Amino acid sequence: MNAEELTEAVEELDSRLERLRVLYEQYFQGIEKIPPSIPQKDVDRRIWVLRREKIRNTGTRFKFQQIIQRYNTFSSYWMRILREIENGTYKRDVLRAKKRFGIDATKPNAPVEPPKPLEEAPASVELSLNDLEDVETFDDDLHDLAPMLPPQKAPPAGARPQSPPNAPPAASR
């Protein structure tokens, strides 16, 4: 590659790195559903190719080294966030879970508001005796079901499975 091609390749790498950063941020915000692994492999490949080239222009070489440092910094940040997502400790996901389950996210370890006592319940929630009788008959129906079989002892590891007594003999191999 000549000097002009190297300069263009470094500029292209810079724009692709910026695009990769934007894609990862979109993934971390939940806009994208999968991490951008294909664009990341493309940036890795371009860095690998440009590292094999001897860049004589100090300005271009400085810019390329700067891009490599930015990429390494971004890469370590992305790996840390991906690890947090896998472990379930990523801040966005934790806040979303707290909001979903009614925990006040602004006050960490804040107690959840206890349910209201029965006397404060609205009058529209009154149960009739007919509703209770339906529940009782449902419970009776459950007892009519066949009893569960007792648990059986598992065979030792590596043992051949035993066939039931009325099963046809197995064909030998």
What pLDDT, in 10s, does the model give residues 124-142? Answer: 555 555 555 555 555 555 5
Q: Which residue has better confidence, 170 or 19?
A: 19
Q: How many CB atoms lie within 10 A of CB 116?
A: 9
Higher-pLDDT residue of 126, 39 = 39
Residue 89 lies in a domain: yes
Q: Which residue has the tokens 């569960």?
A: 148
Contact 9, 1 (CB under 8 A): yes
With 90 as the cut, is the pLDDT of residue 160 above it? Answer: no
Whole-angstrom distance, CA of residue 37 vs CA of residue 24 = 9
Lowest-pLDDT choice from 55-64, 80-89, 107-116: 107-116
Burial class (CB in 10 A: 0-12, 13-18, 19+), 80: exposed
Structural domain of residue 12, as residue ranges?
3-96
Are 130 and 140 a contacting pair, CB within 8 Å?
no
Question: Is residue 92 in some structural domain?
Answer: yes
pLDDT at 159 over 90: no
Residue 33 lies in a domain: yes
* Residue 74 pLDDT greater than 60, yes or no: yes
pLDDT at 71 over 90: yes
Residue 9 lies in a domain: yes
In a domain, 80, yes or no: yes
Within a domain: residue 37?
yes
Q: How many domains does the chain have?
A: 1
